[in-house]
Amino acid sequence: MQFLADHDVYQITVAILKDNGHDVIKVSEIGLEKTDDEIILQRSKELNRILITRDKDFGTLVFLKKKNTNGVVFLRMLPSTIDEVHKELLHVLDEHTFKDLISSFCVVEAKRHRIRKIT
């Protein structure tokens, strides 16, 4: 799958995704590290990538402000749960296709996840 990793995504998360065959670009690689969240969402759509983030504000942008997106994977993790969240994230990506996750908001946390279509 193709992802755009927000600035708050741990480097180890990016490495795990890449090690598992996913195409990941970090926002810093394309000059967006200090950019407004709305622009990051827009850019992920333009690049046909799913945004992966730890920033819960993207839920507000997507559901309350109705910002257009290609999809968001929100990682709800703390340093103490990082291994369990990574395991669940890989489970989600094995179980679901890019088509399943496009236009969805997926919350991944330790030992569970939920996917909600964005309308």
Cβ–Cβ under 8 Å, residues 74 and 53: yes
Q: Could you report the per-residue pLDDT of 9-43, keeping only the tens digit for each?
A: 999 999 999 999 999 999 999 999 888 999 999 99
What is the per-residue pLDDT for 84?
96
Angle at 93 between CA 91 and CA 94, to 5 degrees: 65
Q: Could you report the per-residue pLDDT of 101-111, keeping only the tens digit for each?
A: 998 999 999 99
Domain regions of the chain by residue span: 2-117
